[in-house]
Amino acid sequence: MIKVTSEVQTITQMTRDLPSPLALVPTMGALHEGHLALIRRARQLVGPDGTVAISIFVNPIQFDRASDLTNYPRPLKSDLALCERAGVDLAFTPQKDFFYHSDHSVIVTESLLSKGLCGSIRPGHFDGVLTVVIKLFNLLQPTLAIFGEKDFQQINLIRRMVRDLNIPVEIVGHPTIREPDGLALSSRNIRLTQEHREDAPRIQRSLSAASDLAVTGEQDPAAYLRSAKKHLLANAPDGFSIEYLELIDAESMQAVSLLTKPALLATACYYGGIRLIDHVVIQDH
């Protein structure tokens, strides 16, 4: 049976008493098939005798819009039932007041990989992400942690933090899980109108169409961006807009002048007030 605790004071002792290795799946709840894929991967990695732990916490300091925080779904009861059916051993569900002191003043900041993509649009977002992740690592002391690669910039930042701060945890990425029509799974998808949900696969189709230029030997980043933008905007419905569209080096996360190494073509788009992100990795040919 799954163990559930919201007590910061007891979580470290609980994890010490559970079998190792321990794999952590950090989430903000509103679990879907993408999260379940991470849980299954965690179980595969630690085996039947290891421990699979999940954290469910809507982290307030990573939201740059108050309305987004307010509207974020919090179906904790159904999330925990899903975790138990999936074979999770431990669920950590901290309360904000116990997790962050009212006068907390220390955060983790990364100064290079966070400059582009979401980091350029959402100031402070990744400070919040890295801060909550390092708190979870400190408290649960996992052997490894599993993150979805849909949030490509996020997982790269976490890997950099672990490397630079010598944190003894292995970071495992899991490929993006998609709906049958290609839309990347996200807790935000359920907030889309029917029209916007039916249209949303255009994001992945547009990026994939642009990435096809690689087979021609195209090396100009501008060509990929023009193609992706053309496909994104073609017959787009009312309420659709592009927040950013960038092509960067997949490893350094920096701008490239010529495509000679694997690159990331990434976008964030809005359907009304709903923000969706996606990307493709373009291999040089």
What are the residue numbers of the active site?
35
Q: Which residues on adjacent β-strands are paired with residue 101?
A: none
How far apart CA 40 and CA 46 sit, in angstroms, is 10
DSSP the chain: --EEE--HHHHHHHHHHSPSSEEEEEE-S---HHHHHHHHHHHHHH-TTSEEEEEE---GGG-S-HHHHHHS---HHHHHHHHHHTT-SEEE---HHHHS-TT-------SSTTSSHHHHHSTTHHHHHHHHHHHHHHHH--SEEEEETTSHHHHHHHHHHHHHTT---EEEEEPPPB-TTSPBP-GGGGGS-HHHHHHTTHHHHHHHHHHGGGGGT---HHHHHHHHHHHHHTTPPTTEEEEEEEEEETTT--B-SS--S-EEEEEEEEETTEEEEEEEEEPP-
Kindly compute the dihedral angle of the four CA atoms of residues 34, 152, 276, 256, in this order, to the nearest 10 degrees: -150
